[in-house]
Amino acid sequence: MQNEKIYEAAVDLSNKNNSHTIMVQFILESNRKSKARVLEVGCATGFFGAFLKEQGFEVWGVETSVLQAKRAGRRLDYVYIGCIEDFLRSDECGNAGYFDYIVFGDVLEHLANPTEVLKSCAGILAPDGAILASIPNVAHLAVRLMLLEGRWEYAPFGILDDTHLRFFTRRSIVELFSTAGYCIENMYAVRLSVEDAGIEVNRELLEGMKHLIVDDEQDVFQFVVMATKRLERDAVDDNARFIATKPLRILCLLPIEDWSLGNIRIRNPLRAWQSIYAGEVRTKSIVQHTMEDIAWADVVVLQRESNIFTLKLIRKIQQLDKPIIFDMDDLLSDPPPFLTSYNAMVERKKDLEVALGAVDAISVTTSHLQEKMKVYNRNVYIVPNCASSDYTPAQHYYSEDNLVKLIVASTDTVRVDFILRSLRRLQHDPDLNLRIIGVGPPGEYLAESGLDVKCYDNMDYEGFKKFLSAMDNAIGLIPLDDSPFSACKSAIKYVDYAIAGIPAVCSAVPPYSDVIQDGVTGVLVPNTEEEWFQAVKRLALSVNERKRILASAREYCLSRYSMKVAAEKWNQVFADVKPGQGKIVEERMLKSRLRFRAVKVVKYGLKPGSYVSLMCIISSEARACVRNIYARIIPGLDDE
């Protein structure tokens, strides 16, 4: 007993490269039941199941260790002490179709016959239920290098855990589920470097073999699978996409490698696309990529920003006959003056327009933005901004003080002046007890205008979602001006609020009037003082009204704006886009744009009061400008 392994961990949803996080997201995104039932096989001390219970699930466990099962029994609804094979033969295993999810967290490799266990589980799995499994990948580079040295050394934990009876690769995992009669819906890879894999390797051997081991899964530590029962579908044919010999490779080049907008539009949706359609994705900043990345890619996705360096990159990709998609989430070709980056956007407008016409397709968020972009390119696809359900939603209930929070948030400058008087009246209304919470520039503006506001700095996207989910008895206020630029925005803020458990009051203008059913999935109001005042007061006074609207809003957003939806839309774009559909970027045009940029920089430097605008241009284009200058001095540098 003293040497018994104890498996205990914390579920950290901020770590996306983690099997627990991935399985939780698979469950939360697919679940539509108020109290779904989960069976966790190999539940250990119950830490994972306890997290699911916090989300409202009924959780059963199966555990062979008496010590760990007793701990789990204090956390879960029921724990069977014994092996899964005995549980499935026992009277305790529940009725046919009892469980909505059966979880095997690093368990199948410990079983003598995992195929038969999976087949038997079909009997207690609901018709629309799913199997979740994380399985170590024995083809990790560290294991390969060990074998090249003639070694096979077990360890207490990890890929070569000394209690493993079976070993799997991507192909054998797909074969396992196919043979057992399941269709794989998602298959995601958890990646760890050789240094972090827990296996000692010969560094000299690693350096010597780098040029020979070039596949994209050498750093895969685990595969995480979600699979459903076959029903009328042929599992073997359906699952074949996950072992395709040449998966589609997508290279995403973002203005900044890790930023919230890039995560919303590109990183998170393509992570879902990768797990559903078995493709490969690389994401880098546009200034950090190499020509090896371009050569690797089947499709290149650029995002939002454009300058002379972007145009030269587009030309190089065109010469390699690879399709290019340009992602746009805002009407950057016609920015409003109140944006902090307005001057820089105006300076880059021509470069942006050239880029939009040169690429093979443009992806946008809404139909309004699609119509605007058709001026530049005939191939414009709508890929809506979508969100994931990562945290326990905020709650609404009666309290002694009847405190209600009003949240106003934006990462950039937006117009909130037309709700200022309404908020002042609401804050002084004797029937209400309100706390105004501002995130980003809107909070600063309201505080400077004399309102009592709890202000928070801008947060990264994951932090903001977690922040919202902790705001019980909150109402989201989403004011928006009626302008062409604002009409082309997406309703992602409304979606984030709904999924986080916060009903929203929004301006009755696009995009919110396009997606919200007034009084059903949200509240739409004209931008007048009285309308905003009355709408917010009614919602603040009624817990039941907030609950009613929120229930419809969450159901609507989870069905229409899930990551699965975004993945499907991206897959359609990838299937349709072909190289050669855009206008060729000519060398003489590049030289013309470079001369124009140099002249503009000089002019700005000579104008009093132009320092801030100049800094915006320099900060966004400095590296590109330096590269261009040195490319003219050192022959061949620009071809690297």
**The model's pTM:** 0.84
Comparing CA positions, the residue from 327, 320, 291 lying closest to residue 306 is 327
274, 588, 629 from 600: Cα distances, Å: 42, 18, 16
Query: Is residue 607's pLDDT more than 90?
Result: no
DSSP string, 482-533: -SHHHHTS--HHHHHHHHTT--EEEESSTTHHHH--BTTTBEEE-SSHHHHH
- φ/ψ of 493, rounded to 5, equals -65, -40
User: Other C-beta atoms within 10 Å of 223: how many?
Assistant: 24
Q: What are phi and psi of 587, to 5 degrees?
A: -60, -40
Assess whether pLDDT exceeds 80 at residue 449.
yes
Say whether pLDDT at 600 is over 60: no
Share of the chain above pLDDT 90, in %: 69
Is the pLDDT confidence value at 423 over 70? yes
More confident residue, 281 or 93: 281
Least Cα distance to 373 among 350, 353, 347 occurs for: 353
Task: Give the mean pLDDT of the chain.
Answer: 88
Identify the residue with better confidence: 266 or 230. Answer: 266
Domains in the chain, please, with CATH?
A: 19-243 (3.40.50.150), 249-386+580-639 (3.40.50), 403-561 (3.40.50.2000)
Least reliable range by pLDDT among 132-146, 262-276, 317-331, 409-423: 409-423
Would the CA dihedral through 532, 534, 538, 540 be positive or negative? positive
* Beta bridge partners of residue 37, listed in sequence order: 58
Q: What is the pLDDT of residues 58-67, one digit of tens each?
A: 999 999 999 9
Task: Output the pLDDT for position 614.
Answer: 42
| DSSP structural state of residue 5 | -
- Please say whether the beta carbons of 297 and 316 come within 8 A: no
Encode pLDDT of 487-507 as tens digits.
999 999 999 999 999 999 999
Helices 492-499, 461-469: axis angle to 10 degrees equals 40
The whole-number pLDDT of residue 93 equals 84
Per-residue pLDDT, 347: 82
Q: What is residue 620's predicted lDDT score, i.e. its pLDDT?
A: 41
Amino acid identity of residue 576, one-letter, is: D
| Amino acid letter, residue 268 | N
Percent of the chain with pLDDT over 70: 91
Q: Does residue 639 register a pLDDT over 60? A: no
pLDDT at 98 over 80: yes
Q: Which residues of 505-522 are buried (b: 16+ CB within 10 A; e: fewer)?
A: bbbbbbbbbebbeeeebb
Q: How confident is the model at residue 390 (pLDDT cuts 50, 70, 90)?
A: confident
Which helix (H) or strand (E) is 567 found in, with range?
helix 563-576
